[in-house]
Amino acid sequence: MNRYFLFIVLCLSFVSPLKSQDLVGKANAFIKLLDTAQRTRALYPFDTSERYRFKYIPLEDRKGISLNELNAAQEKALMDLLSTCLSKETVKKVAAIMQLDNILKELEHRKPEDHYRDPRKYFVTIFGIPSANTIWGWRFEGHHVAFHFSADKKQLVAGTPGFLGTNPAIVQSGNEKGKEVLKEETDKGFALLHALSPEELKKAITDTAAPAEIITGDSRQAMINHPAGIRYAELSPDHQQQLLQLINLYINRYTKLFADALLKEIQVAGLDKLWFTWAGYTEPVLGKPYYYRIQGPTIIIEYDNTQNNANHIHTVVRDLKSDFGGDLLLGHYKESH
C-alpha cells in the first residue's frame, strides 16, 4: 500500500465523529502550524474573487499550499479539518482518488521527475479568519477533487461546488487492477435506470448520446435552465425511494449535520420538483459513454463517464442556493465589515 495512502487510513482510524463546533478549532489548529511563508500563500480575504475559482483538472498555477509543502503534523491537521466537513467514507475516497495519479503517471509513461501527475499536488486555501464571530471559508482542490466550504461562525453553511472524479474509473491492469473508487455512484445509477418500467424509461432517457462533460462544468453559477427526464411524481413509489437513495449517496459525502440540512432543503423545495435524467448507453460497458443527472430547485447532481474510452468519471454536487457560500452569506460578510 502506498505510504501516503496508509498514513491517511491510519489518521482516519483515530478520528472520532466531530461536531460542528470543532470546525473553527480545527481550522485554527492547522493555521497555527503554518510558518509565515506558508500563511502568506494559504490565507486570503473572504471577499476575494479567488474564492470563486473552481478547477478539477491538473493545473500548475493553483493558489494556496500543497501537500508537498506540509510536514507530517501539518498534514494531520489538514486531514482533521477535512473530516469536519466530509464524511469518513468520503475522506477515504479522496485519498484513493489522489493515488490514481500514480497510475496515470505510469500509464502515460512519465519520467520520475515529471510532476504533472502527482498525488500530493492538492492545495488548501483559507478565506477569511476562522472564529466564533466571523464569516469565513476554505477550499481543498486538485486533480479530480475539489471542495469549497463556507462557514458562518462555527457552522458549516455551504459545501459546494463539491467534485469527485476518477481516471481510470476502473483500473484495467497492474497491482491495482479492478480498483473502482466511485463504484457506488455507478452501481446505484444503473440500478435505478434498470428498475424503471418501459414507460418510465421513455421519459428518463433524453438522449442516446452522453454529453462529453458534466454540463455545469466549472462555471461560477451552476444552472441548467430546462430540467428534463422523468419527474419524481411520475416514478412508482419503489423507484422514488431508489432515487432518494441515490441522492443520499451524494449528499452524505458531507458530515451528517450538514448533509441533513441539505436533504431538508431538498424536501422543503418539493420532492415532486425533482427530475432524473439519463443520456447515452444503458449498460456499464467499457467504451460506451453514459451520463445521469438529478435536478431540483435547490440541487444539481451530475455523473458523467465519457472520456478515455468511457473509463473516466466526473461527478459533482451543486447547491443552487449556497454555491460558494451564496450571495446572502457574502452580503452578511460585507455588512459586518
Mean of pLDDT values over 141-170: 96
- CB atoms inside a 10 Å sphere around CB 16: 7
CA distance 226 to 249: 24
Quickly state the pLDDT bin for 326 (edges 50, 70, 90): confident
Q: Which three cell numbers stand for residue 66?
A: 500543497
Alpha-carbon distances, residue 306 vs 141, 164, 217, 286, 287 (angstroms): 22, 15, 14, 10, 8
- 227-272 pLDDT, tens digit each: 999 999 999 999 999 999 999 999 999 999 999 999 999 999 999 9
Which residues, other chains included, contact 6 with Cβ-Cβ below 8 Å and sequence gap of 6+? none
Burial of 95: CB neighbours in 10 Å, binned 0-12, 13-18, 19+ = buried
- 93-133 pLDDT, tens digit each: 999 999 999 999 999 999 989 989 999 999 999 999 999 99
Give the pLDDT confidence score for residue 60 in this predicted structure: 84
Mean of pLDDT values over 146-168: 95
Alpha-carbon distances, residue 138 vs 84, 150, 218 (angstroms): 12, 7, 17
Domain ranges of the chain: 3-159, 183-321
Query: Does the predicted TM-score (pTM) go above 0.95?
Result: no
Q: Which three cell numbers stand for residue 22?
A: 470543532
Give the pLDDT confidence score for residue 335 in this predicted structure: 67
CA distance 138 to 177: 35
Which residues, other chains included, contact 285 with Cβ-Cβ below 8 Å and sequence gap of 6+? 310
